[in-house]
Structure 1
Amino acid sequence: MSSKTPRDVLEGLVKDTSLKWLLGKQTSLDDEIEEIENSPSAGSNWIPELSPVANVVIRRCSKILGVSVNELQDSFKEEASGSVKQPSMFPRNFLEYCCFRALALSVGVTGHLSDKTFRRLTFDMMVAWEVPSAASQSLLSVDGDPTVGLEAFSRIAPAVPVIADVIICENLFGVLASSSNGLRLHFSVYDKYLYGLERAIKKMKSQSESSLLSYVRSKGEKILEIDGTVTTQPVLEHIGMSTWPGRLILTDHALYFEAIKVVSFDAPKSYSLSEDLKQVIKPELTGPWGTRLFDKAVSYKSISLPEPVVMEFPELKGHTRRDYWLAIIREVLYVHRYMNKFKIVTGVAKDEAISKAVLGILRVQAIQELGLTTPVRYENLLPFNLCDQLPGGDHILQTLAEMSSSRVLDRTNKAKEGTLYSISASDMVSQLGLMFGTSPRSSSLVVGEVVVGDVNPLEKAVKQSRKNYEKVVLAQETVNGVKVDGIDTNLAVMKELLLPVMEMGNWLLSLAYWDDPLKSFVFCLFSTFIIYRGWVGYAFAFASLFIAGFILLTRCFSKREKVMIELKVMAPPPMNTMEQLLAVQNAISQLEQLVQDANIVLLKLRALLLSLFPQASEKFAVAIVVATTMMVLLSWNSLIMVVFLELFTRYSPPRRESTERLMRRLREWWFSIPAAPVILEQQNKDDNKKTK
């Protein structure tokens, strides 16, 4: 047994190089280690199984909660399940337990995001999560300020819903860590992001409390964003050929536009986002006199409007302003579609859904504060936008709805169980001072989406959707990689791809034309026997099984040896611009000829039906009667055999001469049928204007 005291252990840890980062800029943590070292109860405040970083973070959590580390351990052992308390998982699970409890209490303090101590605490929790056990401390980098990875960020950040959300957590981390190729997150960027969140919250609160927008508050709606208040950067509303400058207001239920008057704003126009009006919101092109030149607008269309309304967001270059508004408008629309689909009409579940959308918009506003050089896709940072894009996004929303309905627990029963969960989005919004909905507030109603030592159904659904999305991305990369330019090159690729089908078709034609009488006779006899015995379905089933077996054999063979699956195509000689234009013109002419021939066939059939040529119509009617009689009198098996023998033996030696004579008579008969007349009428300009 070692004779070292806890004080000796702490002195050794402080001298160890693995804590150099604690002794540098991290003076607060350094002070805490020194405090533990000099404390008479050093042994009781130090857990040997945990790393020094985890011990420091847990001590800070115990101070926030007002209980000792030992009491935290006792509570964890009492409340956690057996799987969570396993010795191998104890360091990380106990750390998560302490972090979730401390964060749930810390976010109740007004202005916690502006407190640098809180911001540093949440980051240190992520650092400790990566190295929770004493054995993992050596993995911590000591070169400068430590950074955190995606997995740690995804576990701790969603515990404070305003910081991150389980659905968009990976995308958010990628944006914040873009300076390091999306691999590691630095505290300086994280700190600036949280400061931006604080500013976005203050801005949203001031907008909601503005006396100038009392008509919105009278409807019980909360303002999320306003644009166009600066006269030099108004929002332009286009309806038909009319254009009005003004300001645009987004609430948690609708979109409002106020046209600018001489000294004030006109009465607002309301465009609902909460009702089921088959709304379509998409990017739009605008320009003077109806031209489509500038990609800086959003189009709103619904069944309640006679024509679409276009909101333009002018800016000198790019369309970032439009992209931001398009994303946040769709987020409000999608959250209401989600609630309508899953019948979430009132109650805590509704507040939770709207709160998730609101927090997503706040995060996007905070990202804008960072001034990143790389372009940001805002829709990837909004949960309901992302679910609309991801493969399996509907499963994520269904899981979210099921979890929301199952979380409405009895207050007395949940008060104890909730300590193993993170805080919920609706509670987060309430504690930020942004009241949405009318449900009574209590932190004991709904729990968050991250649970200690476990992966909940929502996280599983998101991970599965991410895997499917990665497959889609990889597949799309292959699609983009095989796209070639030029009509001649694409035709060459298509010809090579269809070569097996063409060879099969040529082989069947050779049999049908009896080029080799012996092979054709054997094929005809074998096919007739199959049809006669009623084995046609079995023949198709056997062919399908043969294809499946071929695929499996190819897969097994490709595992042993690398088979070159690339398609080799002889590239046609390069064409200059004039040759390419001529090729396009030739292709269009051929397409036009095909359309003309199809129209001729349809017009001749119309003439037959209307008896414009009585003799031909009579023969056509007799042929239909004969075919119908055969279908009635003969069984399907016999009918198939008769049709097969008729078609396949046409060009056999005994029937070739009579078939050629019959085909000649049929062509003469077809050419003798006149086409039904066509009259082209030009549309009147006045009618065209009325239509528009």
Structure 2
Amino acid sequence: MGFLQDLFFGGEKDAEMEDETVPNPIPLLSSIANSVVYRCSRILLLPMEQLQQHFEADLPDHVKQPSLYARNLVEYCSFKALHVDTKRPDHLADKDFCRLTYDMMLAWEVPDKESESLPKETAFGNDPKVEDDDRVSLFYESVTRMASQVDGKKTVGLEAFARIAPACPALADPITVHNLFDALTMSSGRLHFLIYDKYLKSLDKVLKSAKCMSGPPHASSLQLADGEIILDVDGVMPTKPVLQHIGMSTWPGRLTLTTHALYFESLGVGSYSKAVRYDLAKDLKQMIKRELTGPWGARLFDNAVMYKSNSLAEPIFLEFPQIKGHARRDYWFAIIREVLHVHKFIRKFNLKKFQHAEALSKATLGIFRYRAVKEAFHIIPSHFKTILAFNLSEKLPKGDKILKALYKHLELLHGRFLHHDAGHDVVETSSDEKPQTGSFPVSLCTLTRMGILLHKEDHPEERYFLDGDVHVGETSSLQKAIKESVCYSGRVEAARATLDQVTIEDIDTNVAVVKELTLPLVELGKRLLFLAEWEDPLKSTVFLMLILYVVYRGWVRYILPCTFLSLATFMLCHKHQNKAKPLEAFQITPPPNRNPVEQLVTLQEVVSQLETNVQAAVITLLKIRGILYSAFPQTTNKVAITLITAAVLFAFVPFKHIVLLVLLEAYTREMPLRKNSSEKLKRRIREWWVRIPAAPVQVVRTKEHKKLKTASSLKHPLQKDGDPNRTCRPSLRG
């Protein structure tokens, strides 16, 4: 165990030594909290006592209640120190920064002496579960479990991570911090330092890679717009290209995603051709979805993304070949959607200048974090567990409230900048003066510090904002909206779990389920048909009198309200009776299994029946067209006289009486007194309809169609032999 302790916790020895050498510790705080406050005071160049005095002077009384004092003091010191420490471009690569931020989380969980003496939860008590992962890292699971066995107490919980991590803009986003924690802990509930350190190293690597991609030669070859950042590139290796499918053509090449567009460079002989740009920023009704693709348009492999917009004549398909699974495609699908959603957010709220840049920077950092998690742990969180802020806001129930709260945050930021820009500049205050807190463009400033984005004149300078977007001991409006939305998402996930349980792939079984579920309606229809056929004259007569009386008295308008009221009463009664009882499973008898040949025969019969129905519908429409355009004068005269008579009736006869006549006529067709005359009338109408010829139809083939289909191959079902454009009449069957 000694070797493992040195391996995993060698960096903790310095922290333990600092715990012992903290000068003038605050009596109320725990040892780890005193260590954190002491290190924060060194970063801020202030004594611990003076830092505590600033805390008591700056914050309201409800934050300094005895039960909250220690934790809020740790928060206050941590936020102020992180605001200073994160100004260094290389802070993510600093081991001391990694250790300090992790200790801040530990101190947040154990801020005072009382909490220090309480037993902590055992780390990694649950089995990890990974969703949508094709290549789970065994190192991630096994080494983490080994580390937790060495020192299970040195782990961080969700609440501590969610409070401290967003104070470092590159590290986490307030909207997705809970999902980021779940991704790092594999849903185990506790975060170990080993995983946290690995995540920071991966994130630092991704940010440095992004900085390199933003420079020549790749960025210059794409001719990027001002402020456009390269987010990721795929297909660089010749053995792992990205395939672009347009129609029947396929090109291998390199795909680049920026904050404004997709660029595809097809691979030529030793070099790439000029990039084709697919815009993601403008409102071109873009649509992107997962799709199957393959050679010559075949739908074989589930590893492609379809992109469609008004600027394209036909959709394009970007295929990400992969031997097993489709994680590569899912990653690109997620980050492309994130760019689309952030621009949708920008257009919806009409963001301008640095508000626009801040929203884009927020999405950019989210994609970099997404890359870091994917590259470090080979997992791709999706659905309600995604760590992309705008994707999550679009998916979560009431996610629009999150976007609205984010807009208000940006609006407040814009107002503060205008206030300072008008001449009320904030100067650096001395340690005795109360600092001004509030929002500032943290994501934009983070990318600018790291050299990924160049500073513009219309962007606010950091000197205008002394503190970050932090709320010591309080919950911001954005965090409240997130909590409300996450609460609803739990219900949605539970509902989705039930859907997965009842989803049946067999078509015959699904048909059987539909029949059983609609059985009450079918039985009701059978009873009405029984009454309409007058098999029991007494019951049919009573029902007819009842219907006529309801219509005559004008009670028809109460039928729908009574139906709704009956359904509500039915549901409430069942709710009262089945209180705290699970719903019983719906039982059905599955149909006998059929072999593939029988299924093919059934499918052929269904297709044949569908074709017959479509042909009958075409014939009906052509006959109606002929009548409307007076192609057959005799028939047109009869139909016109009938329509004029109906118009006169509807104009001068009360509608209630018309309804009574229609009901009486329809219901008494099978009545013994009317049965013979009704059958004779239906026969005459059928004979009249059959005598009506169909209007002519002409099938005009295009030149391309003629090239693809020769005269000896497929012919149009309505076309005879001879001239391909000849006029023909459809069959008058039925």
TM-score interval, smaller chain: 0.7 to 0.9
RMSD: 3.4
State whether structure 2 residue 605 is matched by structure 1 residue 598.
Answer: no
> Contact conserved, 2:358 with 2:441, CA < 8 A, in 1?
no
Q: 1:418 to 1:261 in 2, by over 3 A?
A: farther
Which residue of the partner structure matches residue 165 of structure 2?
Answer: 157
Q: 1:240 to 1:620 in 2, by over 3 A?
A: closer
TM-score norm. by structure 1 comes to 0.85
State whether structure 2 residue 31 is matched by structure 1 residue 52.
Answer: yes
Q: Paired residues, what number?
A: 657
Match of 1:513 among 509, 525, 533: 533
State whether structure 2 residue 692 is matched by structure 1 residue 639.
Answer: no
Which residue of the partner structure matches residue 407 of structure 2?
Answer: 401
Match of 2:71 among 85, 92, 102: 92
148-157 or 375-384, which deviates more: 375-384
Instruction: Note the 1:203-214 alignment, pairs <5 A.
Output: 203-210=209-216, 213-214=219-220
> What CA distance in whole angstroms lies between the structure 1 residues aligned with 2:439 and 2:595?
67
State whether structure 2 residue 8 is matched by structure 1 residue 26.
Answer: no
> Contact conserved, 1:101 with 1:420, CA < 8 A, in 2?
no
Which residue of the partner structure matches residue 81 of structure 1?
Answer: 60
Which residue of the partner structure matches residue 435 of structure 1?
Answer: 453
Match of 1:271 among 250, 265, 278: 278
Structure 1: gaps of 5 or more residues: 1-21
525-534 or 97-106, which deviates more: 525-534
Instruction: Note the 1:115-194 alignment, pairs <5 A.
Output: 115-137=94-116, 138-140=118-120, 144-145=151-152, 146-178=154-186, 181-194=187-200
> Contact conserved, 2:249 with 2:296, CA < 8 A, in 1?
no
> Contact conserved, 2:438 with 2:469, CA < 8 A, in 1?
no
Match of 2:339 among 332, 341, 345: 332
Code of the aligned partner of 1:177: T
> Contact conserved, 2:19 with 2:32, CA < 8 A, in 1?
no
Q: 1:460 to 1:259 in 2, by over 3 A?
A: same
> What CA distance in whole angstroms lies between the structure 1 residues aligned with 2:481 and 2:271?
49
Shift of 1:60: 2.3
> Contact conserved, 2:227 with 2:453, CA < 8 A, in 1?
no
> What CA distance in whole angstroms lies between the structure 1 residues aligned with 2:630 and 2:224?
72
State whether structure 2 residue 513 is matched by structure 1 residue 493.
Answer: yes
Listed one character per residue, the Cα deviations across residues 105-135 of structure 1 (whole Å, up to 9, x for unaligned) are 1111231111111101111222222233433
State whether structure 2 residue 369 is matched by structure 1 residue 363.
Answer: yes
Which residue of the partner structure matches residue 21 of structure 2?
Answer: 35
Match of 2:564 among 544, 547, 554: 544
Q: 1:125 to 1:578 in 2, by over 3 A?
A: same
Code of the aligned partner of 1:325: W
**Secondary structure of 1:381's match?**
coil
Q: 1:540 to 1:248 in 2, by over 3 A?
A: closer
188-197 or 353-362, which deviates more: 353-362
> What CA distance in whole angstroms lies between the structure 1 residues aligned with 2:296 and 2:92?
48
Shift of 1:619: 3.4
**Secondary structure of 2:156's match?**
coil
Which residue of the partner structure matches residue 468 of structure 1?
Answer: 488
Code of the aligned partner of 1:424: V
Match of 2:205 among 199, 211, 214: 199
Which residue of the partner structure matches residue 16 of structure 1?
Answer: none
Q: 1:469 to 1:446 in 2, by over 3 A?
A: farther
Code of the aligned partner of 1:35: T
Percentage of pairs with the same residue: 44
Which consecutive segments of 4 or more residues in structure 1 shift more than 6 A?
22-25, 412-415, 420-423
> Contact conserved, 2:291 with 2:306, CA < 8 A, in 1?
yes
> Contact conserved, 2:240 with 2:321, CA < 8 A, in 1?
yes
Listed one character per residue, the Cα deviations across residues 626-656 of structure 1 (whole Å, up to 9, x for unaligned) are 2211100012222222222332344445444
**Secondary structure of 1:108's match?**
coil
Listed one character per residue, the Cα deviations across residues 154-211 of structure 1 (whole Å, up to 9, x for unaligned) are 2211111211112222222222112xx4422111011011011111222222222335
Shift of 1:564: 4.5
Instruction: Note the 1:244-259 alignment, pairs <5 A.
Output: 246-259=253-266
> What CA distance in whole angstroms lies between the structure 2 residues aligned with 1:264 and 1:200?
26
Shift of 1:300: 4.1
Shift of 1:491: 2.2
> Contact conserved, 2:79 with 2:468, CA < 8 A, in 1?
no
Instruction: Note the 1:589-628 alignment, pairs <5 A.
Output: 589-611=608-630, 614-628=633-647
Which residue of the partner structure matches residue 8 of structure 1?
Answer: none
Listed one character per residue, the Cα deviations across residues 26-74 of structure 1 (whole Å, up to 9, x for unaligned) are 32232122113xx4x3xxx2242x4333333223222222223332332
> Contact conserved, 1:127 with 1:148, CA < 8 A, in 2?
yes
> Contact conserved, 2:337 with 2:391, CA < 8 A, in 1?
yes
TM-score norm. by structure 2 comes to 0.80
> What CA distance in whole angstroms lies between the structure 1 residues aligned with 2:205 and 2:644?
82
> What CA distance in whole angstroms lies between the structure 2 residues aligned with 1:275 and 1:550?
51
Which residue of the partner structure matches residue 387 of structure 1?
Answer: 393
Shift of 1:237: 4.8
Code of the aligned partner of 2:17: D
> Contact conserved, 1:256 with 1:271, CA < 8 A, in 2?
yes
> What CA distance in whole angstroms lies between the structure 2 residues aligned with 1:332 and 1:640?
57
492-501 or 198-207, which deviates more: 198-207
Match of 2:86 among 99, 107, 110: 107
Code of the aligned partner of 1:425: S
> What CA distance in whole angstroms lies between the structure 1 residues aligned with 2:363 and 2:567?
49
> Contact conserved, 1:100 with 1:419, CA < 8 A, in 2?
no
